[in-house]
Structure 1
């Protein structure tokens, strides 16, 4: 029985995509159990310590694990012979040290941690965690009504998590002063007591992790979405984070991660600033894998969360989902 021309093409593309070497970058934020989030924002890309360890065991046996800063040299020297994989963490949550660092050390795996120095130095919590904490620890209907009026939004009074996600998505693109004013008004109106500020890494944690072989990268100083800023403010955000980190760990900072990281969240000005400041590469939150054709300042990542199916993740890492992803990209 002869194979149809369409099936031949399908098999050809499948072989090309599955055998073409890739550099995979995984993206995490928190490594914690949902019950331990204690009212803070649970929509950040996170997984439990148990799931994370299972993933690390699989990765350590099947991939050559690299740091993000290694990628430009691998691509430049055309060394992509086997699948390389980098493990990254955004925002610098304390559980990165308590759980991720311990598990990675146990299995002799290294990773890259992106830090916002202002939050580490001030012992503040991220603004999205403040919003989440206030909504989760106060009367829900009253909070929803107040926020609807403040933001001029028609919020559906569903479960708190959906409300929180809607508010965070809107507020993240506010100018810093406007966002601070909104959160300040929330704090004045609702209870904000007994909050645990011990949510982020401390400098001694970061220094210890770096000395053990982990890479520390920059994530701006205040977690600002760079495309909302002018050139001068972008430069200040990026350069300040780089210089503070360099001073703290006494090493050059070579890797960067764009806050929020979608295509609309950075621009050519951002990339030019990164190049001028001698960064070697930058990670986005655009989903996909990387090869010789990928720009070093548009590195794609694969997100991992509580809802990530273990079998599906293994299939993705092995390349079996590359073909359907490529088809989807070509359609859209």
Structure 2
């Protein structure tokens, strides 16, 4: 992936030669659904590993301004000429920072929440693991039973060392096992993290009473699974349990039958997952993907694509992405459709 400076240069060239405008035209009937996670005040944003999918508040506000000027921002998923804003997980910053910024423009969105986070206050386990790697004291840590040694120094080394953990998880090692080994190497409770206000915004859940307020303000609150595990890797019993928890929260916590898959790539779902989601009464489901798909597996209402904006306030780069120009250069295709 090109670095930010290079992307900005390419976006500027694309604008000057008219390519961005051309892509807006050719993608005029392609639905845009934007996926966000955390929106963090600039003064707290420390570029640590656990903020890899997060956005500075200043960037988010500029992006909102560009989106509302370019599109009708709507929660109508079927309106191909509109743009829909979505959030995953349910952390407090999505209410305190993101939804309040949207409310100033009277923009409505979807906020997909993990039941463990909302009901029990338990941060998503993957976030706990990234928190450990982000803030544990500098040093060498041996995860004996996983046969892994981590050399943790500056932020960049921590991001690189995280790849070892990511590879383990992709090979089938459970997140619970990694957490157990982290705890043995250095207890979570002894980690000296950043300021308490930052930690609350980043890791505390949106309360159910606040979710009620958000619904009253016109936002949709949807399910993002019960435990935030890769659904395709779960046993049938565990998968049924997870989907049932989400189903039973419909009408109470949730006010939409749209679902968002955790992780959300093609590999993270299966035909069994889709069947259970449909059987539970969910009418559509969002992926976390918008690249071309191979074979018979294509985008549809139970695997709807979403696109992503970089943490930037550069309007040329924002337009470069929203227009589909960035997508076309990467894949030689227009933005995906789904039926």
Which residues of structure 1 form unaligned runs of 5+?
Answer: 1-10
Distance 1:318 1:39 in 2: 27
Distance 2:242 2:180 in 1: 23
Q: Are the counterparts in 2 of residues 46 and 304 from structure 1 also a CA contact under 8 Å?
A: no
Kindly report which structure 2 residues correspond to 1:143-292, keeping only aligned pairs within 5 A, or say none: 143=141, 146-147=142-143, 149-153=144-148, 159-168=157-166, 170-171=168-169, 174=172, 178-193=174-189, 198=200, 199=203, 200-249=205-254, 251=255, 253-288=256-291
Match of 2:3 in 1: none
Q: Which one of the candidate residues 123, 139, 144 is aligned to 2:121? A: 123
When normalised by structure 2's length, the TM-score is 0.77
Q: Are the counterparts in 2 of residues 45 and 303 from structure 1 also a CA contact under 8 Å?
A: no
Distance 1:19 1:186 in 2: 46
Distance 1:35 1:15 in 2: 35
Alpha-carbon shift at residue 32 of structure 1 (Å): 0.7
Distance 2:168 2:25 in 1: 37
Q: Are the counterparts in 2 of residues 41 and 129 from structure 1 also a CA contact under 8 Å?
A: no
Distance 1:226 1:107 in 2: 36
Moved more, 213-222 or 184-193: 184-193
Q: Alpha carbons of 1:246 and 1:164: their partners in 2 closer, same or farther (altered >3 Å)?
A: farther
Q: Alpha carbons of 1:299 and 1:37: their partners in 2 closer, same or farther (altered >3 Å)?
A: same
Secondary structure of 1:124's match?
A: coil
Secondary structure of 2:287's match?
A: strand
**Alignment RMSD, CA only?**
3.2
Q: Which one of the candidate residues 96, 106, 129 is aligned to 2:104? A: 106
Alpha-carbon shift at residue 268 of structure 1 (Å): 0.8
Q: Alpha carbons of 1:164 and 1:270: their partners in 2 closer, same or farther (altered >3 Å)?
A: same
Moved more, 191-200 or 34-43: 34-43
2:311 pairs with 1:306: yes
Secondary structure of 2:289's match?
A: strand
Alpha-carbon shift at residue 151 of structure 1 (Å): 2.2
User: How many residue pairs are counted as aligned between the two chains?
Assistant: 298
Alpha-carbon shift at residue 248 of structure 1 (Å): 3.0
Secondary structure of 1:182's match?
A: helix
Question: Could you give the per-residue CA deviations for residues 64-123 of structure 1, whole angstroms, max 9, x where no partner exists?
Answer: 2122xx32xx3xxxx64xx21111111111110111011000011111011011122222
Secondary structure of 2:50's match?
A: coil
Distance 1:35 1:52 in 2: 14
Which residues of structure 2 form unaligned runs of 5+?
Answer: 1-18, 293-297, 335-339
Distance 1:312 1:36 in 2: 24
2:55 pairs with 1:47: yes
Alpha-carbon shift at residue 260 of structure 1 (Å): 0.7
When normalised by structure 1's length, the TM-score is 0.78
Alpha-carbon shift at residue 246 of structure 1 (Å): 2.9
Q: Alpha carbons of 1:35 and 1:129: their partners in 2 closer, same or farther (altered >3 Å)?
A: farther
Q: Are the counterparts in 2 of residues 30 and 45 from structure 1 also a CA contact under 8 Å?
A: yes
Q: Are the counterparts in 1 of residues 312 and 318 from structure 2 also a CA contact under 8 Å?
A: no
Q: Alpha carbons of 1:201 and 1:37: their partners in 2 closer, same or farther (altered >3 Å)?
A: farther
Distance 2:116 2:54 in 1: 22
Work out which of the two has the higher radius of gyration on C-alpha atoms and give 1 or 2.
1
Alpha-carbon shift at residue 294 of structure 1 (Å): 4.4
Alpha-carbon shift at residue 230 of structure 1 (Å): 2.7
Q: Are the counterparts in 1 of residues 41 and 57 from structure 2 also a CA contact under 8 Å?
A: yes
